Structures are given as structure tokens and as C-alpha cells.
Amino acid sequence: MLDVAPEVAAALAANRPVVALESTIISHGMPYPQNVRTATRVEAAVREEGAVPATIAIIDGRLTVGLDATGVERLGRGGPGVAKVSRRDIPFIVARGGDGATTVAATMIIAAMAGIRVFATGGIGGVHRGAEVSMDISADLDELGRTDVAVVCAGVKSVLDLGRTLEYLETRGVPVVGWKTDTLPAFYTRSSGLPVDYRVDTPLEAAAAMHAKWRLRLSGGIVIAVPVPEDAALDPADIDAAIDEAVAAMPAQGVVGKAATPFLLQRIADQTGGRSLAANIALVVNNARVAARIAHAYCRADTRSDD
């Protein structure tokens, strides 16, 4: 059920760096054709750092590791009509022979199946605001607690409850690591003011922690949180106001579950005149570059088997 692109398989067999990339950013993250252009830019950023990109999705019921240009275009044109796939959805999309765009959780699962240890994305899911009533908590968090993949991101999506998300990750034993920062990035802004568990300043530091964690059989992922590039960061007051308005609009629109994050991102983009979308693109490209450097260091750090 797993199709690994020849280039990706060859790189993994030769212990060369590979970076997994998710596909919901293509189908649900932004409109066509900007979604396809962004996916192409992200893959190019990984290649520019000397690593192999592996965009992950489900195509015709096959778990696909390393989408070709046709696959990316297919998801981009399909947009929100493509199934948004997390752990619970994978068997049904596979059984039905359908297409699916993978969330952080699903991408981690399939990356681990293929033997990929480093994954770059925009931001992880988390505990939604008001979760004490709705119980809306992203499956990304439990996946981080069980699947051995390092997730390079710009922190938790800032539409969520960042403090409660950190508490949940602590409970699941997931280290939250700041990339050259002592505080958790807040997606569109460089700092939430909340402390991270650890800080790393070089790819080798991150890779050494990854090797140690998994050799000790401490299963689960690592969050490596990278601040949005300074020239793309938004003003905290402006983005907070846009987020508050978007969250307040959800009940009247009847938005719940999987539809929440795409709705919020689009609403915030409208509120900020597109500046949030530009920041989103800048941060995911930057994350891909950092992930590629960490993947290089992970391959170099120790060639012994993680088993």
C-alpha cells in the first residue's frame, strides 16, 4: 500500500537526507494556483539545501511518498474537495481507492513507514480555544506522542490555545525545542512569550537529541519550533485582532472539526489583506530549509542503526 518515489527510496538507502512534506497545505491551505506554486517553492528550498523532498499524500488509495508534479497539481486543483486525512481516515481512503491530503498526523505516520525522520510543515495543530467545552484537540498532538519523527514548524498555529497545547505536549512526553529561540514562536509572530523546553542553535544539536531519544526507545516525536523570518512577521496586535474576529465568527457559520483551521486561515487572510498568507508562505519555506539542514546533520551525526 506504500509507494515511495525512486529518488526518495535511493536517498534513504544511501543514508542521504530526506525531508517529508505534508499535502493539506496544497489542498486546504491556500487557493489554486498559489497552492501549487508554494508546494513547488517548498520542495525547491529543500533541494537548495542538498536534501530530497518527499511530499506525502494518498493517491488512488496508495500511500505516496514523493509526489510528482502531476500529483501536486491534482491536489492543488482538487482543493478542499480532496479528503483531509488524519490517522482515523487513512484506512477508509485507502480502502476506497481515493485521494487524500495528509495532515501533520497522517504525514508523520506515512513518513515513519518510509523511514523518514524529519518533516517540515507550517504549524502543528493543537488544543482549540474553548476546548474545555468543545473537546476539540488536534490528533497531531497524540501522533507526536507516539511516532518517531521530528517536526520542524513555526510552532503551534496561533488560532489555537498555545498554553494548553504546550501542557498537552508535556503530558504526552513531547519535547518542544526552540530553534535559536528560548520562547515558542506564534506562527505569524516570532514569539508567544511562552518558554520552550529546550533550545538548539545548530542542526547538529537537534540531530544529537533525535538520535539519543530514539536510541533510548523513548518513542514519539520532537517539535522543533522555528520563528517566522523577521521580514515576514506580522504585528502581534494586528494579528491577534484578526484571530479574535475569526474565532468569534465561527459559531455563526457553524464551523467545527476539520473545517475550523481552513476557515480561520482564510478569514484571517481576508482580515489582514493577504499579509497572513504571505507570512505563511515565508515561514513554511524557511522551515523546509531548516529541516533540510537538520536532516543532513541527522545522517552525518551517526550512521549506526537507530535500532
* Active-site annotation, residues: 22, 157
φ and ψ at residue 53, rounded to 5 degrees = -80, 145
Alpha-carbon distance 154 to 124, whole Å?
A: 8
What's the residue count for the chain? 307
CB 76 within 8 A of CB 35: yes
DSSP for 89-142? GHHHHHHTT--EEE-HHHHHHHHHHHT--EEE-S-B--BPTTHHHH--B-HHHH
Closest alpha carbon to 117 in 51, 67, 171: 51
**Alpha helix ranges (H) inside the chain:** 6-13, 24-27, 34-48, 69-78, 90-95, 104-114, 131-134, 139-144, 162-171, 203-215, 236-253, 260-271, 275-301
Please give the biggest Cα pair distance in the chain: 55
Strand-pairing partners, residue 3, are 64
Q: Would you say 302 and 212 are in contact if contact means Cβ atoms under 8 Å apart?
A: no
Cα dihedral sign, 119-84-266-67:
positive
Cα separation, 229 vs 164, whole angstroms:
25
Give the count of beta carbons closer than 10 Å to the beta carbon of residue 211.
Answer: 17
